[in-house]
């Protein structure tokens, strides 16, 4: 696996600096997205400053990304290699509970944010479910 090149804050109050990260093997239901554009919003800044008290460092912001699917896990579905996709606040959900089946993945009890516990999209690549 090739390391992802990202911009990360090493600690609270620090400026973003170049950072490399080896994400390991692609999960069976994951897709890898080559990032074309990524916005920044107040939530990214709040996480950067640890305003909510749960930021993990090094912290890579970016949950408003657009890019193309460049790799897919063996069980990933719903997209194809080369498809343009967007990644928002949530990177994972179970996809089988009632809210997920109704298109309300943000209400899933297993939902996982893009920025909490993982690196965001201020990077050349990012992963999501």
| 73: three-class secondary structure by DSSP | coil
Measure the CA angle with vertex 77, ends 97 and 99; round to 5°. 20
Where do runs of H (alpha helix) occur along 2-128?
42-48, 98-101
* Mean pLDDT for the stretch of residues 57-67: 96
| pLDDT tens-digit series, residues 28-54 | 999 999 999 999 889 999 999 999 999
* Mean pLDDT for the stretch of residues 59-84: 96
Distance, in Å, from the CA atom of 127 to the CA atom of 129, rounded to the nearest integer, reads 7
Biggest alpha carbon distance in the chain? 41
User: Which CATH class for the 4-128 domain?
Assistant: alpha beta
Q: Is the pLDDT of residue 1 over 80?
A: no
> Which sequence spans correspond to the domains of the chain?
4-128
* 46 Cβ neighbours under 8 A, 6+ residues apart: 52
Q: How confident is the model at residue 116 (pLDDT cuts 50, 70, 90)?
A: confident
């Amino acid at each position: 696996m090739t390391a992802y090149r990202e911009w990360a804050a090493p600690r609270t109050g620090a400026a973003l600096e170049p950072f490399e990260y080896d994400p390991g093997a692609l999960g069976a239901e994951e897709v890898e997205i080559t990032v074309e554009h990524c916005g920044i919003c107040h939530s990214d800044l709040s996480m950067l400053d640890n305003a909510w008290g749960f930021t993990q460092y090094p912290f890579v912001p970016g949950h408003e990304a657009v890019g193309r699917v460049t790799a897919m896990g063996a069980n990933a579905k719903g997209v194809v290699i080369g498809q343009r996709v967007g990644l928002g606040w949530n990177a994972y959900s179970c996809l089988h509970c009632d809210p997920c089946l109704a298109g309300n993945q943000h209400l899933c009890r297993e939902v996982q944010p893009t920025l909490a516990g993982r690196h965001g999209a201020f990077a050349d690549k990012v992963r999501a479910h």
